[in-house]
A and B are shown apart, each in its own frame.
Chain A
Amino acid sequence: MELPHLWFVLIAVLWTGYFFLEGFDFGIGVLTGLLARDRREKRVLINTIGPVWDGNEVWLLSAAGATFAAFPDWYATLFSGFYLPLLVILVCLIVRGVAFEYRAKRPEERWQRNWERAIFWTSLGPAFLWGVVFANLVHGTPIGESGEIEGSVLELLGPHALLGGVLTLVLFTFHGAVFAALKTVGEIRLRARRTAGGLGLAAAALAVVSLGWTQAERGSTASAVAMAVSVGALVAALIANGSGREGWSFGWSGVAIAAFSAMLFLALFPDVMPSSLGAEWSLTVEGAASSPYTLRIMTWCAAIATPVVMLYQGWTYWVFRKRIGVQHIAEPVHPKTTAE
């Protein structure tokens, strides 16, 4: 395989890893608003991803960094062109990270409630907006001669883009719900399963419409297969969820997300950013790629680093394999400020 093609695949792998992992993180964040009945249950949900969310988010940084290095034109056009959606995503990711770390650090009701609201909204925001960004990316954006996206932000909010956003939001929330069922114990586990049932049906229906639209516009045989796998895996996840097989259910929802991501990248290929103004302005895999020397070095780095990362991140999930429930959430001890 030629190096630019290999790197197109690797970038797709990094985004897939990101959607798989932070997908359920976002889902858990949204579920704190839908599933939890009280603060303790919210905390059970948050703590299912407590040790891992930060490592999961690095998949995004790696995808961005690798795009910068392997496809500078892609990185430049994508990040400057989607300026405002990325601004909102950044603000959400900033607030969300701080919210996880700081929420329990003070006892005041208002403090905790505000951070809990923040966790809900800042999980919902990116889960929706990544769908908007990728739907636009595949659909084509008004890239002109300069190689930059021209036109206003409103053009990024067309029906296909909004549909794409709703799909990722529901898909990630479903993924989060089956993750919650897998990682918790007690009543919340059963409720997570029930919620997952509804979300999974909605996700499958949305996937058919949204991905079908993409397939009709830009699809190939390969992307049609990926789409079929994605929808099929969602159905399999639903069946497994219905029969209480939580491990299988999570596995299948993971396959659904991976196939969803694969479908997007297969529909993109051989472009990385198709232009809606004319095929001659589209950024292509070959045209946007870095020099062979840079790609070779990057290949060495990725070939060594990525398996090691997967190994120790996988180990983290093994360490924290125990299910948690309300009984495992301690009332935090808050230090009293020394009176002076």
Chain B
Amino acid sequence: MDLALAPETLARWQFGITTVYHFLFVPLTISLASLTAGLQTAWVRTGKEKYLRATKFWGKLFLINIALGVVTGILQEFQFGMNWSDYSRFVGDVFGAPLAFEALIAFFFESTFIGLWIFGWDRLPQRIHLACIWMVAIGTILSAYFILAANSWMQHPVGYRIDEESGRAELTDIVAVLTQNTAVAQFFHTIAAAFLAGGAFMVGIAAWHLMRGNHVPVMRSSLRVGLVTLVVSGLLVAASGDRLGKIMYEQQPMKMAAAEALWDTEAPAPFSLFAIGDVDKGHNTVAIELPGILSFLAHDNFYEAVPGINDTNEELKEKYGEKFGIDDFRPNIAVTYWGFRWMIGFGMASLGVGLLGLWLTRRRFLLAPELRTGEDEVPRLALTRGRVLGSRLERWYWRLAVLTIGFPLIASSWGWIFTEMGRQPWVVYGVLPTSSAVSPGVSQGEVITSMAIYTLLYGVLAVVEIKLLLKYAKAGPPELTEADLNPPKRIGGDHHDPEQQDRPMAFSY
């Protein structure tokens, strides 16, 4: 079957669908691993039962989430070869290395220690069991680093040369690939965004319970941890995003001009709040702008010129047009422009909800004595030193917090759509056009078949997982058992004791 589509169109849709879906689970996996590890550390150090209950509760939600993150990740690793075989041939020498590192170093870590953690409650002494969840957390972060280094090489290829005989990219400097500024900035930005997602997830679920007065001691602590995570990571997302933006202005001016729908070079350049553009004529018909701000985002001053889409397009045509036979270097302007705005908008809205929450539930010394609450009371939401929100507004804040769970996920998805679509028509910027990257031997029928199957399967799994998350989130933290409070002293469990021989496993599938 052959449709009147460019050969890469279907493969791109499939990559987009499967990657955005995969990345709904990734940020929560990365952040909840560390947050659960932090809560378990608090339990081991303080011996307060609320921390163990919190560990079990958030750990359960983490596991429901990571299950899908892991399995959808397998597909990602196969997809390069299946749909993008010419890409794989061209870049494998460079791009394959960080991918192999990711599997050999990070995936093994993550997957082995998560098994130990899940089944290890009655098989490992307390501190070794705790170390396992930290290993998982380290594994997730290492994995992010390697895959982002690989992606950064597509955004800004370094440390390679084109072999004249084979015409393919060859690695010349692995250190450059792993430490270039694009990789470092992307890593910090993505990890901060992951914690934004984890913070919002904790705040939202804790708010849901606190609004109902359920499980107060555990949820109160969780709310606190979540709010601090949300605010700290929100600030880091903004700072690292600013840094990454400045790097992109240097490395991919077209992406950033498209992000602003800035058609013509301007000095000082304004930041666009809203625009409706006419791509054929190359200008905006409606535009609301803040003067000078874009110059600041690009150059840290309010006057320097920022190159526009039309000028950049001419420049790129001159540089690459003949060599690659491409006469239009503009990405999809509307998606890039709005993707950039949804990313920033939803990301910063999450930060806003966090800041508001941190203020409303602030520590005791900023509150009048009658508003101070104990560890087992729902915190009062205090606007000023002596005044609390009315019960209706209070409910609205809790509801807003629940809603915020989705914000960082929307922001991350748009962030990826923005940065990947903004790079078009390149798959490796300035080196390999996307149209030269697909598998020549795979038919459109095969791609459509696989896309239909993945989309259907992913849709069903999404419903299953969300229902399960809701069930366990609503159920709240579990009661602790004798076994929970008496972890084994020996590796492998205390089953030498004849009384323990037939004791059921603490956890079984």
Name A's B-contacting residues (CB within 8 A): 43, 46-47, 50-55, 57-58, 60-62, 64-66, 68-73, 75-81, 83-84, 86-87, 90-91, 93-98, 100-106, 146-150, 290-291, 293-294, 297-298, 301-302, 305-306, 309, 312-313, 316, 318-322, 324, 327-330, 332-333, 335-338, 340
Contact = CB atoms under 8 A, between A and B. Distances in A.
Contact of A98 (B85, B108, B442, B461): B461
Contacts of A66: 100, 103-104
A328 B104 contact: no
B46 interface: no
A298 B115 contact: no
The 8 closest A-B CB pairs, nearest first, are A72-B92, A79-B81, A69-B96, A335-B475, A148-B441, A330-B504, A55-B112, A68-B96
Contacts of B478: 333, 335
Contacts of B505: 47, 324, 328-330
Nearest to B117: A51
Interface in B416-448: 439-442, 446
A68 B81 contact: yes
A83 B104 contact: no
Interface in B43-99: 63-64, 67-68, 70-72, 74-75, 77-78, 80-83, 85-86, 88-97, 99
Contacts of B464: 98, 102
B92 A309 contact: no
Contacts of A77: 85
A106 B509 CA distance: 11
B504 A76 contact: no
16 contacts: A51-B118, A52-B112, A53-B115, A55-B108, A61-B74, A66-B103, A76-B85, A91-B453, A96-B71, A98-B67, A98-B461, A290-B171, A294-B96, A302-B104, A309-B112, A327-B502
B492 A321 contact: yes
A65 B92 CA distance: 10
Given A290-B92, A309-B104, A337 B114 contact: no
B471 A335 contact: yes
The winner among B93, B101, B104, B114 for most chain A CB atoms within 10 A is: B104
A183 B364 CA distance: 55
A316 B115 contact: yes
A293 B170 contact: yes
B491 A319 contact: yes
Contacts of A50: 115, 118-119, 508-509
Interface of B: 63-64, 67-68, 70-72, 74-75, 77-78, 80-83, 85-86, 88-97, 99-105, 107-108, 111-116, 118-120, 123-124, 163, 168, 170-172, 174, 212, 214, 439-442, 446, 449-450, 453-454, 457, 461, 464, 468, 471-472, 474-476, 478, 491-493, 495, 502-505, 508-509
Contact of B74 (A75, A93, A297): A93
A208 to B, nearest CB: 33
Given A66-B100, A150-B441, A301-B100, A105 B502 contact: no
A337 B63 CA distance: 19
Given A291-B170, A329-B505, A86 B78 contact: yes
Contacts of B119: 50-51, 320
Contacts of B105: 301, 305
B303 to A, nearest CB: 45
Contacts of B93: 69, 72, 290-291, 294
Contacts of A318: 491-492
Contacts of A55: 108, 111-112, 115
B504 A328 contact: yes
A106 B85 contact: no
Nearest to A81: B441
B33 to A, nearest CB: 14
Nearest to B96: A69
A257 B272 CA distance: 63
A290 B503 CA distance: 53
A316 B67 CA distance: 20
Given A54-B115, A149-B441, A301-B101, A70 B96 contact: yes
A93 B504 CA distance: 29
Nearest to B464: A102
Given A298-B97, A313-B112, 6 more contacts: A68-B92, A80-B85, A98-B68, A148-B440, A301-B105, A335-B476
Q: How would you classify the secondary structure of chain B's contact residues: helix, strand, loop or mixed? A: helix
Contact of B503 (A102, A301, A328, A335): A328
The winner among A46, A60, A87, A336 for most chain B CB atoms within 10 A is: A87
A322 B212 CA distance: 44
Contacts of B492: 318-322
Contacts of B468: 102, 105-106
B168 to A, nearest CB: 8
B471 A62 contact: no
A106 B471 CA distance: 9
Nearest to A100: B509
A148 B123 contact: no
A96 B68 CA distance: 11
B97 to A, nearest CB: 5
Contacts of A61: 74, 77, 103, 107
A276 B317 CA distance: 44
Contact of B96 (A149, A290, A328, A340): A290
A62 B91 CA distance: 18
A312 B112 contact: yes
B114 A309 contact: no
B509 A46 contact: yes
A100 B450 CA distance: 24
Contact of A293 (B118, B172, B491): B172
Contacts of A316: 112, 115-116
Nearest to A63: B103
Contacts of B90: 72
Given A105-B468, A290-B92, A65 B102 contact: yes
B231 to A, nearest CB: 29
Nearest to B115: A51
A100 B116 CA distance: 15
Contacts of B74: 57, 60-61, 90, 93-94
A86 B83 CA distance: 12
A291 B171 contact: yes
A291 B111 CA distance: 31
Given A101-B67, A328-B504, A337-B475, A309 B97 contact: no
Given A330-B505, A338-B475, A80 B453 contact: no
Contact of B508 (A47, A65, A83, A297): A47
Contacts of A52: 112, 115
A68 B108 contact: no
A203 B174 CA distance: 45
A50 to B, nearest CB: 5
A57 B75 CA distance: 13
Nearest to A302: B104
A46 B74 CA distance: 21
Contacts of B440: 146, 148
B171 A91 contact: no
Contacts of B68: 98
B107 A58 contact: yes
